[in-house]
Amino acid sequence: MKDVSQPKPALWLRIVHFPLTRLILLGGPVFYMMGMSNGFMQKFSKSTLLSLGAAAGMAALGLVFYVVFVRFYERRPVSELSIPGMGRELGIGLLIGAGLYTGCVLILMVLGIYRIEGLNPLTFMVPAVAMALSSGIFEELIFRGVLFRIVEESLGSWISLVVSSLVFGLVHLFNPAGTLLGAIFISIEAGLLLAAAYMVTRRLWLSIGFHMSWNYTQSAIFSGIVSGSDADPGLIKSTIEGPIALTGGSFGLESSLIAFLLCTTTGVVLLIMAVRKGNITPPFWARKN
C-alpha cells in the first residue's frame, strides 16, 4: 500500500510562516513600541505618574500585540504567557533578581568598595518603577519571546541560546556609556540567565521577574548605573571606589566580575534544570520524523 504524502503548503503560506518573516512581523512592532515607551518616559521624566502610566500602558499594549499575533497569526495557544503559574514564577523571579543584585553589593561592602553614606526619602524609589516595568517586559518579549523562541524552533536550543545572548548583549552598546566589555558580560551572564529561565519553565514570567527586579533594585535601592545608562539617585546614598573589574566602572555592576560570577552561576544552574526536565529542542536536522 503506497503512502500518500501530504502536499506542500502554497509558497505564499510558507513565506508567511517562515521564521525570518515572523521575527520581523512580531519583533519589529514590539521593538518599536519599546522605543515609544522609552520616549514617553523621557518626555514625562519630570512627572513620575505620567512616566509610570506611559510605561504601564505601552507594556500592556506590547503584551496584547504579542498575544494577538501568536493567537491569530501563528495560530497556537500563547503558552509562554499563560496565566496559571504566573504569580509564582513572577514572584520567584522578583525575589531572585533582587537577591542577586543585593548579593553583589554585599560583597562590595565586605571588600570596602561600596559604602553607604545615608538615605534619601522613600519617594526616590518610585521613578525607577517605570524603567523596570518597561525594560523587563519589552526586552523579555523581544529577546526571549520572539528571538530565542523563533530561532529555537528551527536551529534548536543551543544555537538559539548563543544567538539571543549575543544580540541581547550587543544592543547595550547603544546605551550612553555602553562598552564592549559590558556588552560581552551581559551576553554571557544575563543572556544565559534569562534564556535559561525561559527554558526551564517554557514561560516568560520568571525571566520578566528577574529582569524587572534586577534593574529596579540596582537603580531604585542602590542608586546604581543600569547597563551603561544614566544613573539616577535611589534610596541609598553611596560611594563606590575600587577597581573597575569589581565595580564595573561607568557601565555599572553588570560589567563587574562579581555580577558575572553570581549571575552566570545562577544561569548554569537553571540550564542544568532545563536539561534534566527535557526542555532542550534539537535543531531541525537532528529531529526524528
Which H or E run includes 199? Answer: helix 180-201
Prediction pTM value: 0.93
Q: Which of the four pLDDT bands, split at 50, 70 and 90, describes residue 263?
A: very high
Percent of the chain having pLDDT more than 70? 95
Average pLDDT on 16-33 reads 92
More confident residue, 199 or 286: 199
pLDDT at 186 over 70: yes
**Cell triple for 241:** 571606589
Percent residues over pLDDT 90 in the chain = 82
Confidence of residue 190 (pLDDT cuts 50, 70, 90): very high
d(CA 40, CA 38): 5
Give the separation between CA 61 and CA 54, rounded to whole angstroms: 10
Mean pLDDT of 199-217: 97
- Write down the pLDDT at residue 9: 63
Can you give the pLDDT at residue 225? 87
* pLDDT above 80 (res 289): no
The pLDDT, as a whole number, for residue 1 is: 45
Section 195-206 average pLDDT: 97
Q: Residue range 79-104: average pLDDT?
A: 96
Residue 119 has which C-alpha cell?
538615605
* pLDDT at residue 2, as a whole number: 47
Query: What's the pLDDT tens digit per position in 60-81?
Result: 999 999 999 999 999 999 999 9
